[in-house]
Chains A and B, each alone.
Chain A
Amino acid sequence: MITIQKYVRAQSLEEAWELNQSKRNRIIGGMLWLRLGSGSVNTAIDLSGLGLNTIEETDEEFSIGAMVSLRDLEMHEGLNSYSCGAVKNAVKDIVGVQFRNMATVGGSIWGRFGFSDVLTVFLALDTYVELYKGGIMSLEEFASMRADNDILVRIIVKKTPGKAVYTSMRNQRTDFPVLACAVSCLDGEYRLSVGARPARARVFRDEKGILAGGITEQSAKDFAQYAGKTVHTGSNMRGSAVYRSHLVKVLTERSLQELGGM
């Protein structure tokens, strides 16, 4: 477990950012992941006093503060109505209610964890991150970057018209996913986001136009076969690469069928 010398509840993002420039200081979100690490943190920088714990909804977008909990995501009617329940389905099996009341969107997205259900689902939506110094960029771009000393302020989900479906395979209900899969069709563009490969989630598009004529039993099957060949998987204690590649096909086909109303 980590040790902490000093605790500061930041009064402004500027104060938090300045403190975060020292390598020995750390931002704390829900602290659930952070505390399982080892070593010594000089100053723990708490963002909980900055009002970043709200989800704001307008006609165009959802603005989700970095300190919003996973439970808030699960319970937000607007977000779940827009995402067809995909966001709720992504987080509902993460450990337990108590855990989800503490784990934050900011920590989950910042961590860019390979196993992340949270990153997987938001990559399938039209999502952006706002960094305090780095400004706004697409989540896809952010997910491929290495962590630096900036601060994630909020994520933005545009209400691009469309539908989404989330599924995952777990060895046991509240365990990490063996594979996480989200599909969406936004403004006519299909996206497949696959996480827990076990590497970090990535977006795959319908580059071959397999779904160009819409979702049918056959096109869902064909796209699933294509995904099985395209999505790179690996092995860890939860499953082998071969098993995961099989799951890519099964979860992609099932999710597409659901997306297509079959």
Chain B
Amino acid sequence: MEIKLKLNGRAVTGSVDADTILLDFLRQKGCLSVKRGCDTSNCGLCTVLMDGKPILSCSMLAARADGHEIYTLEGLQEEAAEFTGFIADQGADQCGFCNPGFVMNTIALLRENPDPSDDEIRAFLAGNLCRCSGYEGQLRGIRTFLESRRA
């Protein structure tokens, strides 16, 4: 079947099977920031924004995205650049595999709640798993970003 959606601000069309997963469709369209981690809706690595809300692209049919608007990290570089340097400065990433999902969900967090507390950050990012870091580095990075913005 043919689907038509807005991807990173541009209209795209594509031919998909009934069970094509959105993640695979997005990668076919060149959005390689979208990665498969667990494939069981647990790790958050495949996070994209659909109509502004963070969702798991590994668990969504491409057909269901027909007529909707999707943003991946490729389309949100500027917004991401505001805070990713702070996370890197804390040495938060080790292998870096979880990073795109973390960044996408942090964008969603900061849009919804521009000045979150530590507990609100932890709660919002609870669905993003990282096998290396223990999460403290990411938390410190976001905190320093928020402090710099307040200053």
* Minimal beta-carbon separation of A96 from chain B (angstroms): 1
Q: Are A101 and B54 touching (Cβ within 8 A)? A: yes
Chain A hits for B109, CB < 8 A: 97
Q: From residue B139, how far is it (CB to closest CB) to chain A in Å?
A: 14
Which one of A3, A7, A28, A174 has the greatest number of beta carbons of chain B within 10 Å?
A7
Minimum C-beta distance from A39 to chain B (A):
12
Q: Is A99 an interface residue (CB 8 A)?
A: yes
* Segment from A16-24, A29-37, A150-158, A215-223 that makes contact with B: A29-37
Question: Does A58 sit at the interface, judged by CB under 8 A?
Answer: no
In the complex, chain B residues whose CB is within 8 Å of the CB of A97: 54, 105, 108-109, 124, 126-127
Q: How many residues of B contact A (CB 8 A)?
A: 29
Give residues of chain B (128-146) contacting chain A, Cβ–Cβ below 8 Å. Answer: 128
Query: A17–B54 Cα gap in the complex (Å)?
Result: 30
| Chain B: minimal CB distance from A9 (Å) | 8
**A181 to B54 CA separation, bound complex (whole angstroms):** 29
Q: Is B60 an interface residue (CB 8 A)?
A: yes
Interface size on A, residues (CB 8 A): 29
Are B1 and A7 in contact, with the CB atoms below 8 A? Answer: yes
- Our pick among A30, A44, A93, A96 for the contact of B128 (Cβ within 8 Å) is A96
0/1 string, B114-125, CB within 8 A of A gives 1: 000000000111
Chain A residues near B80 (CB, 8 Å)?
A: none
7 residue pairs from A and B, CB less than 8 Å apart:
A96-B105, A98-B54, A98-B55, A98-B56, A98-B105, A99-B41, A174-B127
Minimum-distance CB pairs A-B, first 5? A96-B127, A4-B19, A7-B18, A7-B63, A4-B18
**Chain B contacts to A: CB under 8 angstroms:** 1, 17-19, 39-42, 44, 47, 53-56, 59-61, 63-64, 66, 105, 108-109, 123-128
